[in-house]
């Protein structure tokens, strides 16, 4: 038996820019299909605009009449692109009573990143990776009652399948 879904979920992707990959929807299967289609490096560049990504998500929730508004911010890097600073976006989220749970994904040091060789083939090159856990913590402190989310090193598949079941803040 399928339960009635009353939680709207959307998906904002960001690299050097942010864009809406899935608008707010009650169709969670549609969202999961979009997640399955994602490919790292598909957007553009090796840049991370955390502030723009968060700002875009908060803007989508701004006029939503809902009991609670939550953004789950998942990133694998440091803010090094975009126009909006992450902590300013967090202040906007707090002012609009949007809770932001932050998740750092990946590892420190070197990680394989998809790229294209001169023949257009997909190849992987090692690039430096360093997640800005301090900024993620500050965003969470401003918006989500001091939620602490540790860096995830495994696939986020299991994590994303649980997004719809999140109701209360948890320590991870």
Q: Model confidence at 24, in pLDDT bands (50, 70, 90)?
A: confident
Share of the chain above pLDDT 70, in %: 76
What's the pLDDT score for residue 152? 52
Answer with the residue of higher pLDDT: 169 or 88. Answer: 88
In a domain, 4, yes or no: no
Q: State the chain's mean pLDDT as an integer.
A: 79
Residues 51-107: pLDDT tens digits? 999 999 999 999 988 888 889 888 888 898 999 999 999 999 999 999 898 888 776
In a domain, 63, yes or no: yes
In a domain, 171, yes or no: no
In order, the DSSP letters of the chain are -PPPP---EEEEEESSSEEEEEEEES-HHHHHHHHHH--TTSSSTT---HHHHHHHHHHHHTT---S-EEEEEEESS---SSSS-HHHHHHHHHHTTEEEEEEEBS-SEEEEEEEE-TTS-EEEEEEEE---HHHHHHHHHHHSSS---PPB-S-SHHHHHTGGG--S----
Question: Is the pLDDT score of 108 beyond 90?
Answer: no
What's the pLDDT score for residue 56? 95
In a domain, 137, yes or no: yes
Domain of residue 112, residue span: 9-165
In a domain, 2, yes or no: no
CATH of the domain at 113: 3.40.50.410
Q: Provide the number of structural domains found in the chain.
A: 1
């Amino acid at each position: 038996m399928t339960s009635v879904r009353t939680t709207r979920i959307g998906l904002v992707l960001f690299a050097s820019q942010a864009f809406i990959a899935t608008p707010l929807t009650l169709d969670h299967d549609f969202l999961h299909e979009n997640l399955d289609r994602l490919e790292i490096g598909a957007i553009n560049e090796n840049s991370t605009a955390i502030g723009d990504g968060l700002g875009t998500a908060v803007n989508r929730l701004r006029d939503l009449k809902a009991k609670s508004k939550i953004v789950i911010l998942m990133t694998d890097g440091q803010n090094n692109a975009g126009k909006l600073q992450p902590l300013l976006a967090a202040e906007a989220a707090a002012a609009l009573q949007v809770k932001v749970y932050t998740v750092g994904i990946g590892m420190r040091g070197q990680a394989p990143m998809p790229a294209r060789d001169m023949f257009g083939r997909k190849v992987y090159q090692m690039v430096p990776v360093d997640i800005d856990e301090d900024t993620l913590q500050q965003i969470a402190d401003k918006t989500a009652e001091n939620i602490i989310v540790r860096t995830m090193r495994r696939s986020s598949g299991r994590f994303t399948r649980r997004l719809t079941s999140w109701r209360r803040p948890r320590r991870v």
